[in-house]
Amino acid sequence: MPKPSQRTSVKKVKVKVPSGTLKTYLRKKRNKPAVCGVCGKPLSGVPNLNALKMRTIAKTKKRPERPFGGNLCSSCMRNKIKRRLFESFS
Amino acid sequence: MFETGRICMKTAGREAGKYCVVVNKIDKEFVLITGPKIVTNVRRRKCNVKHLEPIPLKIAISKNASDEEIIKAFEKEGVYSKLKLKKPTAEEIKLAKEAEEKRKKKEEQKGTEEKTKEKKGKPEIEKRTAEKKPKKKTEQKKPKEKKAPKKSATKKLKK
């Protein structure tokens, strides 16, 4: 058990030990994967890392190289561009 | 529908949302395109028909036309005002020509260098397999001969 002044958001897991007692272990937190802004499907090309690593790796390794790269999935992006075309020419 | 001279917009890839011109037909599915690179930043390459969206605009060019002829045809039809694009100046056209020629020379030099490297690589691999010596078979250990059990001295005393 950590000190009351050092309680961070932590996942507690109860495990039965071979001697027969119950012990609580503290596990680290993991992020959820990134998701498309329109349809809600998980995105490809975006790694699922913690905050420290996302700060240190290069910018081109965090998103795909196309418009709306880390925001929308490929099919939602195509629909958006087609709709822009039709509205401008109608 | 996708004839030489038809203007389209790309819907997929890193050049999505940009205009381009069809230059030649390759296949049922593939087509050669450029937006001239100075105008729309789209390179001369082949593209799938499913990733293009045509526009009700067309210009008159011949097959496999160069970028300069396409820019002249743009002025005649008034494409710059309809699509809201910038007109390139004569200096920019010159600079782009020289940069293309430099790039082509570099590619030819690289192509010859790669061929010489491939030849060096193959004999090295063959040498390595020949240098390997066959493993020596270890001699089988002879089984230990069992010694005859010694007669204990205590038995004699008991008698």
Instruction: Flag whether pLDDT at A1 surpasses 80.
Output: no
CA distance A55 to A2: 28
pLDDT classification of B152: cutoffs 50, 70, 90? low
Average pLDDT, chain A: 91
Judged by a CB distance cut-off of 8 A, whether residue A89 touches chain B is: yes
Judged by a CB distance cut-off of 8 A, whether residue B17 touches chain A is: yes
CA distance A88 to A82: 10
pTM of the model: 0.69
By CA distance, what is B53's nearest residue in A?
A82
pLDDT digits 0-9 by tens, B84-105: 888 888 888 888 888 878 888 8
Give every strand in the sheet of B19-25, ordered side by side. B42-48, B30-35, B19-25, B6-10, B52-58
Average pLDDT, chain B: 82
pLDDT digits 0-9 by tens, B52-86: 999 999 999 999 988 889 999 999 988 899 888 88
pLDDT over 90, % of chain A: 72
Instruction: Flag whether pLDDT at A48 surpasses 90.
Output: yes
To test the contact with chain B by mutation, choose from A81, A87, A89 the residue with the greatest count of B C-beta atoms within 10 A, namely A81
Instruction: Flag whether pLDDT at A41 surpasses 90.
Output: yes
pLDDT digits 0-9 by tens, B99-148: 878 888 888 888 777 666 655 555 555 555 556 667 777 666 666 676 66
Instruction: Flag whether pLDDT at B41 surpasses 70.
Output: yes
Q: Provide the residue ranges of all domains of chain A, joining segments of one domain with +.
A: 31-90
CA distance A31 to A42: 13
CB contact under 8 A, A81 and B56: no
The interface predicted TM-score of the complex, written ipTM, equals 0.73
Judged by a CB distance cut-off of 8 A, whether residue B127 touches chain A is: no
Domains and CATH numbers, chain B: 6-87 (2.30.30.30)
Q: What is the pLDDT of residue B117?
A: 63
